[in-house]
Amino acid sequence: MQKQKQQPPATAAVQVYLRIRPLISEEDGHDLITYKVDDDNATFHLKLPDRGSQPAPNSAFANAPRFRHRQPKFKACGGFTEILQEDCNNDLAYRRTVQPLVNPIVSRNESACVFTYGHTGSGKSHTLLGYGDELGMYKFAAADILEKIQAQDPTKCLLVKVTELYKNDQVIDLLTRQPCSIRQDANGRVRIRGPMVADDKGRIEQQPLGKVCRTAQQVTDCVEAACESRRVGTSTHHDQSSRSHLVLSLEVVTPALMEKRHLLLKQDAQLTRLKWLQTELTFNKHKERQMPQWAKEFSSTTMSRNIRQYETLVKSSKRELQRMFTNLGGTLVFCDLAGNEYARDSADSTKEEREEAAEINKSLLAVKEMIRSLGRKQQQGQRGENAGESRHHHIPYRDSKLTMCLKRHLETRAVMLAHVSPSVESLKKTMNTLTYSSMVVGNGVTASRRGKENDKQ
């Protein structure tokens, strides 16, 4: 049984956990990688094959990929909050990583983000969504949040949103299978906006996203129905490879809040239509054109008065929503990132696979750069030096639509679960995951002197 340590305070920009999954049925007969974990359960030492000699046919590294440069026999990756080894199931992993985020969400109206990283087939979707009889983390979280909020107020419930980001340019609401868009409002908050639909009166109205769930079973049914529409592919790496990023949001709401949001959408749609009509009237008058029939029903004075009236209504509704939202809980976001793969590693990769891999790696790089920027900004603030520089520190969240979606949540509390396989066939992919994780926590992958000294003895 792995050693457990006390949960550290949330001072880092992101708490990074390493999870080593057990072998799966497709890996029966594979040799295992050799690794060791320090007593603090935060440093991972991975043994690499020797360079210059051919491994024995029956050795653990007979099928391991060959490295171009000379490698030390052990490489260490440190800075993890905790390392979850093969005997750690989803229930224990949830209690060690995500459960500490629930109380701040319920009691202090905070947001939190949990995202998984790793190569295809490393167990990311298994951790968040579950598989077979093993429940996913989102199910444990939904049950805990609903139990706590309904003990406070029986009318509270969860608004579930499931969004897919594909090739960094397509945003799909998986509950309605409609395209969405990402917009930034006047206050700097980035939102995923639902599809725009015209009603029978010509008003363009934004459709609300998400589904209200009052029980954990309703949340499960909603997410499972949405995941059926997710883009997956049969690649040379995995027969059910996720080719898109999945963003699952659990927001604490009440029926009164949802009703007010729907009213605001209708008021905003009417205001947009009135402004459009005013523009058309001004344009026709300036061009001295024949006024259309609908325009004869309005005058400039009446139009301006109606616009001011709806602007007042919209502002009032926004203030009321802000007041109602302050007294509610926050939002927990799960992000199942697509696998980090290099299509050139496979000779059978198609053109579409290579394009998908390029877009996936681009968005994963943007996430890493955003987290590192947040960490540097936080470190400057903690030292109390260069306050002006810290306040204006650039955060490159616009580099990807994925980082735009996660911006608000990564700035509060965030947990990263890095997944690796124990199979020696995935050694190179494991090294890539460790390197990425080290860059996130700000520690490079360096040679372990103790590992080399122990190897000499």
Residue of 56, 90, 85, 125 whose CA lies nearest to 337 = 125
3-class SS of residue 329: coil
Residue of 176, 167, 189 whose CA lies nearest to 361 = 167
Q: What residues have CB less than 8 Å from 445, skipping those under 6 apart?
A: 75, 76, 77, 431, 434, 435, 438
Q: Would you state the pLDDT for residue 168?
A: 67
Q: Model-level pTM?
A: 0.82
Please state the φ and ψ torsions of residue 360, each to the nearest 5 degrees: -65, -50
How far apart, in Å, are the Cα atoms of 211 and each of 161, 204, 443?
A: 7, 21, 41
**Rounded distance, CA 417 to CA 431, Å?**
15
Residue 236 per-residue DSSP state:
S
**Rounded distance, CA 290 to CA 282, Å?**
12
Please state the φ and ψ torsions of residue 359, each to the nearest 5 degrees: -70, -40
Q: Would you state the pLDDT for residue 93?
A: 95
DSSP assignment of 350-400 = -HHHHHHHHHHHHHHHHHHHHHHHHHHHHHHHHHT--HHHHHT----GGG-
**Rounded distance, CA 230 to CA 258, Å?**
27
In the beta sheet, which residues pair with residue 418? 18, 117
**Rounded distance, CA 407 to CA 243, Å?**
22
Provide block-wise average pLDDT over 10 residues at a time, the chain (457 residues): 46 79 80 84 80 50 51 74 91 94 88 90 89 91 95 93 85 89 79 79 78 95 90 58 85 91 86 79 61 57 82 88 77 89 64 80 86 76 56 77 84 88 86 86 47 40
